[in-house]
Homo-oligomer: A and B are copies of this chain.
Amino acid sequence: MPLLTRDAKGVYPISITPFHDDGAIDLAGMDRLVDFFLQCGVPGITVLGVLGEANKLSEEEGLGLLGHALRRVNGRAQVIAGAGHVGFDNLERFAGRAMEAGAAGLMIAPAPGLKTEEQVFAYFDALTRRIGEATPVALQDYPQHTGVFLSAGTLGALIERHPGIKVVKHEESSALRKISRLRAQEAEGRRGRVSILVGNSGIHLPQELHRGADGANTGVAFPEMLVEVCRRFSVGEAAAGEDLYDLFLPLVRHEQQPGIGLAIRKEIFRRRGLIASARVRAPGPALDADDHAELGLLLDRLDRKLRDAGEAGVIEAYPVAAE
């Protein structure tokens, strides 16, 4: 499979990591997830992200899961591996093993604790010397999580400086304008094009696509909707894309809750028949009876609205099972 490039486009789901009720990784569930994502028509998948509970896996579990996913994908899509290691030695070793196994690139965020632009530049210079400019990077710009804020100018300078940065995973909240500014840098010829995929649950996806985003790189439990929304935008049917998106917005908003959102997503995947257990590794959230009932109501409403709008076909393959 080709490596990640600056032309990346469309939806790259961030995969959850399915566990059995006893906490072991559910590889059969991972297979079903992979198959499902491919069936949605995605160009790639990200594993071992924050949503994938990467920091609760052992190093061997993480690499094992990556290898398993790569074998299941079998060249039909790109696989991006989240690389959240604190030390460069660990990161370099992981990067080597992941790329050797066939990953298309790494998702890397600036380390928490970087305080100034000078430190950010030094960090990426040093990191790049370790993993090499040839290793494609999806730069995760997620300051709510890392505490590291990058202006559009700084981000542009990093992109210019490091050809290895292929994708900006844009997920700073309240930062729609940043996409416009990144695109303006390109329109003004100040640097070459970069792919911009949005994260943050795609809570502003239509606005972000209007402003020049190339797609999404997020873990919403209805990736086929994201795919179809992006497709409509790409063929000039933005209004129809946003109409579809808005039908799902109540769910997207519900999933976007930090913390419990992960448990909600796992439960939706479970109800869709893709994974056997919604278990989150400890310490982590779990739904209670009220949460289940609330989610059930939201899913019923979605189902009804999709039917009313004649859009039920969008989630035809794996509808949500009635409880």
Is A6 close to B, CB under 8 A? Answer: no
Q: Which residue of B lies closest to A143 (CB)?
A: B115
Distance of A256 from chain B, by nearest CB (Å):
9
- Which residue from B149, B176, B288 sits with its C-beta under 8 Å from A115? B149
A111 to B257, CA, bound (A): 20
Q: Is A88 an interface residue (CB 8 A)?
A: yes
> In whole angstroms, what is the CA distance A152 to B56 when docked?
28
Which of B153, B174, B283 is the one whose CB lies under 8 Å from A258?
B174
Chain A 137-181 interface 0/1 with B at a Cβ cutoff of 8 Å (1 = within): 000000100000111111000000000000000000110110010
* Distance between Cα atoms of A158 and B123 in the complex (Å): 23
**Chain A binding site: helix, strand, loop or mixed by DSSP?**
helix
Partner of A86, one of B56, B118, B126, B290: B56
The residues of B that contact A177 with a CB separation of less than 8 Å are 260, 288, 290-291
A151/B86 in contact, CB under 8 A:
no
Give Cα A23 to B143, complex, Å. 30
If A87-B53, A207-B254, A281-B87 touch, whether A260 touches B119 (CB-CB below 8 Å) is no
A156 to chain B: closest CB distance in Å?
Answer: 11
Please name the residue on chain B nearest to A203 by beta carbon. B253
Closest chain B residue, CB of each to CB of A288: B177
Q: Which residues of B contact A59 (CB under 8 A)?
A: 58-59
Q: Which residues in B have their C-beta under 8 angstroms from that of A133?
A: none
Known A88-B281, A246-B250; contact A116-B150, beta-carbon cutoff 8 A? yes
Flag if A180 contacts B290 (CB, 8 Å).
Answer: yes
Whether the pair B282, A87 counts as a contact (CB closer than 8 A) is yes
Given A117-B116, A117-B154, A174-B258, residue A87 in contact with residue B149 (CB < 8 A): no
**C-alpha gap A57/B90 in the complex (Å):** 7
The answer to whether A204 has its CB under 8 Å from any CB of chain B is: yes
Q: Is A20 an interface residue (CB 8 A)?
A: no
In the complex, A311 has a CB within 8 A of chain B: no
Provide the bound-state CA to CA distance between A218 and B211, in Å.
29
Give the top 8 A-B pairs by smallest Cβ distance, nearest first. Answer: A56-B87, A115-B149, A116-B151, A118-B151, A88-B282, A174-B257, A55-B86, A174-B259
Q: Identify 12 residue pairs between A and B in the complex whose beta-carbon atoms are under 8 Å apart, listed by A's number.
A: A53-B87, A57-B90, A111-B283, A116-B154, A117-B117, A117-B154, A127-B283, A173-B258, A174-B257, A210-B297, A249-B249, A249-B250
